[in-house]
């Protein structure tokens, strides 16, 4: 049974990852500011790991086999200055993990590290992020990989794409649609909707993340994705229909973001190899 330290265990992605890890027999040590009701972690540390006074060695009684660092603030607000201001604290945490003797560390990434790109994204795709969120994530990716290489431990960077599912409380467009419909609004301001993205349900994302960290053959940067591009308009219109929402999209009310590509998706070959290595697929 592997023990996995999961930061951000109560977050939007974290709670699903904890469940997925438990379903696969892992022992989970959760870390977050607050423990969510119904959390399935075997043990839990309520702490702010971004606090300069935080010491991982002071709160753990064992050295986990793997650290999965999901914790991040304001992920849906790409221009928030907290991304850059928190960066050194995230790096300090990674160094604490390595100093404790954890043999495998994984960080949660994003397609926004790449910046403007057309086509499939794989490990070799050059990164030129165009937002504070993307810049800080890319910087953590690079520094985590360097620190892991220097320490001689195994490292993974799990690059997420356009996540949906479990939307009622999320700050994604899907959560906003649900709340707008519940408030009786009949029109929802929207972009052109033409951009194509790689959409992945948060439950499937959690399955992929858990598979990645429970194996150590496939390392480096891994795209956690579907591998299939779909237009934002098609995805959102389907969401409206499948949820029976009485609301229409106001196309063109918002301009498309200049740093978003007309079509970008993940190359699924490496995540498939990780799922095979973890025994998830043949």
Q: Please identify every residue annotated as catalytic.
A: 133
Strand pairing report for 196-201 and 229-231: antiparallel
Enumerate helices (H) and strands (E) in the chain, giving the number of each: 9, 14
What region does 207 belong to: left with phi over 0, alpha with psi -120 to 50, or beta?
alpha
Alpha carbon separation from 47 to 10, 77, 89, 268 (Å, rounded):
12, 23, 13, 35
Among 125, 166, 137, residue whose Cα is nearest residue 69: 137
Q: Are 193 and 263 in contact (CB under 8 A)?
A: no
DSSP, collapsed to helix, strand or coil, labels residue 32 as strand
Q: Are 208 and 271 in contact (CB under 8 A)?
A: yes
Among 79, 80, 146, 77, residue whose Cα is nearest residue 107: 146
């Amino acid at each position: 049974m592997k023990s996995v330290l999961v930061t951000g265990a109560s977050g939007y992605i974290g709670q699903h990852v904890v469940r997925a890890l438990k379903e696969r027999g892992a022992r989970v040590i959760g870390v977050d500011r607050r423990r969510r009701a119904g959390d399935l972690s075997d043990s839990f540390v309520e702490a702010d790991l971004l606090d300069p006074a935080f010491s991982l060695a002071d709160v753990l009684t064992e050295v986990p086999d793997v650290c999965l660092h999901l914790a991040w603030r304001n992920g849906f607000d790409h221009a928030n200055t907290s991304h850059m201001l928190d960066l050194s604290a995230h790096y300090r945490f990674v160094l604490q993990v390595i100093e404790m003797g954890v043999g495998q560390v994984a960080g949660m990434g994003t397609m926004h590290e790449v910046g403007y790109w057309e086509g499939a994204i794989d490990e070799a795709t050059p990164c030129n992020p165009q937002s504070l969120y993307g810049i800080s994530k890319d910087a953590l990716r690079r520094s985590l990989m360097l620190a892991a290489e220097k320490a001689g431990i195994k490292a993974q960077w799990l690059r997420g794409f356009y996540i949906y599912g479990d939307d009622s409380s999320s700050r994604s467009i899907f959560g906003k649609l649900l709340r707008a419909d519940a408030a009786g609004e009949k029109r929802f301001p929207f972009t052109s909707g033409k951009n194509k993205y790689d959409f992945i349900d948060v439950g499937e994302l959690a399955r992929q993340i858990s598979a990645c960290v429970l194996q150590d053959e496939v390392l480096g940067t891994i795209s956690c994705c579907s591998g299939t591009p779909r237009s934002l308009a098609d995805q959102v219109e389907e969401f409206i229909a499948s949820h029976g929402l009485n609301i229409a999209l106001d196309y063109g009310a918002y301009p498309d973001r200049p740093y978003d590509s007309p079509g970008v998706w993940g190359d699924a070959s490496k995540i498939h190899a990780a799922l095979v290595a973890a025994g998830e697929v043949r």
